[in-house]
Amino acid sequence: MSTVKLRAGNLARSWFYLGSFFRVVGMVLCLASPDKAHANAAPLTHPDGFKMGIATHFAQGQGRPPTHIPLMAKNGWLALRDEAFWSHTERTLGVFVMPELVQAALVSAKSSGVSTLLLLGYGHPIHTQGAKPTTREQRAAFTRYATFVAERTRHLVDTIEVWNEWDIDIGGGAAGRPEDYIALLREAVPAIRLAAPGIKIIGGSATPEGVDRGYLRQLISMGLLDLVDGISVHPYVWSRTKSTPNDAADWVQKLLLYTRGKPLHVTEIGWPTHKALSLRSAGVSEQSQRDYVCATVQLLQAVPTVKSVYFYGLLDVGSDDRNPEHRFGLIRQNGEPRPAFAVNACKPLTPG
Q: Which tens digit of pLDDT belongs to each residue from 257-276?
A: 999 999 999 999 999 999 87
If we measure between CA atoms, which residue out of 139, 153, 232 comes closest to residue 190?
Answer: 139
What is the per-residue pLDDT for 25?
A: 36
Rounded to whole angstroms, how far apart are CA atoms 281 and 6?
Answer: 13
Q: What structural domains and CATH numbers belong to the chain?
A: 10-345 (3.20.20.80)
Task: Identify whether 17 is preceded by a cis peptide bond (ω within 30 of 0).
Answer: no
Quote the distance between the C-alpha of residue 238 and its chain's center.
14
Rounded to whole angstroms, how far apart are CA atoms 44 and 182?
Answer: 35
Distances (CA, A) of 163 to 143, 205, 230, 231, 288: 12, 7, 14, 12, 31
**Section 295-310 average pLDDT:** 95
Of 74-83, 85-94, 316-325, give the lowest mean pLDDT range: 316-325
As a whole number of Å, the end-to-end CA separation of the chain is 36
pTM here is 0.86
**pLDDT of 253 over the 70 cut:** yes
What is the per-residue pLDDT for 4?
A: 41
Strand, helix or coil at 233?
Answer: strand
What is the per-residue pLDDT for 281?
A: 67
Q: With beta carbons less than 8 A apart as the criterion, state whether 299 and 248 touch.
A: yes
**Section 216-243 average pLDDT:** 92
Q: With beta carbons less than 8 A apart as the criterion, state whether 230 and 262 touch.
A: yes
> For 281, phi and psi rounded to 5 degrees?
-150, 130
Q: With beta carbons less than 8 A apart as the criterion, state whether 273 and 327 touch.
A: yes
Q: Write the pLDDT tens digit of every residue in 9-24.
A: 333 333 333 333 333 3
Residues 6+ apart with CB under 8 A from 324: 6, 10, 11, 239, 272, 274, 283
**pLDDT of 328 over the 60 cut:** yes
What is the per-residue pLDDT for 20?
A: 33
**pLDDT of 35 over the 60 cut:** no
Rounded to whole angstroms, how far apart are CA atoms 138 and 98?
Answer: 20
**Section 34-46 average pLDDT:** 40
Q: With beta carbons less than 8 A apart as the criterion, state whether 60 and 271 touch.
A: no
> Rounded to the nearest 10 degrees, how much is the dihedral formed by the CA atoms of 172, 178, 184, 189?
120
Q: With beta carbons less than 8 A apart as the criterion, state whether 143 and 163 touch.
A: no
Distances (CA, A) of 72 to 42, 296, 335, 351: 22, 18, 13, 29
